[in-house]
Chains A and B, each alone.
Chain A
Amino acid sequence: MNDGGMDSEKIEDIEIRLLLEALYRRYHYDFRNYAQASIKRRLRQARERQGIKTFSALQDRILHDPAVAARVVRFLTVQVSDFFRDPSYFKAIREKVVPHLKTYPSLKIWIAGCSAGEELHSFAILFREEGLEDRTLFYATDINQEALDAAARGIYPLDRIAAFTENYRLAGGKASLSDYYTTGYGGAVFDKTLRERVVFSDHSLVTDAVFSEMQLISCRNVMIYFDKPLQDRAVGLFRDSLARGGFLGLGSKESLRFSEHAEAFSEFVREEKIYQRRKV
Chain B
Amino acid sequence: MSAAEHRAVAIGASAGAIQALLQILPALPEDYALPVLVVVHVPPGRRSELTTLFAAKCRVHVCEGEDKQPIEPGTVTFAPPDYHMLVEPGGTISLSADEPVYFSRPSIDVLFESAADAYGPGLVGVVLTGANEDGARGLRAVAEAGGVTLVQDPATAYARAMPQAAVAACRKATVLALGGIVEALLAAGTR
Contact = CB atoms under 8 A, between A and B. Distances in A.
Is A bound to B? yes
Interface of A: 5-6, 9, 35-38, 40-42, 79-81, 86-88, 221, 223-225, 227-228, 231, 251-255, 257-258
A86 B47 CA distance: 10
Given A38-B98, A86-B46, A224-B94, A253 B83 contact: yes
B96 A9 contact: no
B86 A37 contact: yes
Given A9-B120, A37-B89, A252-B46, A225 B96 contact: yes
A5 B145 contact: yes
- Most chain-B CB neighbours within 10 Å: which of A42, A252, A254? A252
A42 B145 contact: no
B110 interface: yes
B94 A35 contact: yes
B46 A37 contact: no
Contacts of A255: 66-67
Interface in B76-122: 80, 83-84, 86-89, 92, 94-99, 110, 113-114, 117-118, 120-121
B113 A41 contact: yes
Contacts of B96: 38, 41, 224-225
A228 B89 contact: no
Contacts of B29: none
B114 A41 contact: yes
Contacts of B117: 9, 37, 40
A163 to B, nearest CB: 10
A37 B114 contact: yes
Contacts of B113: 41
B68 interface: yes
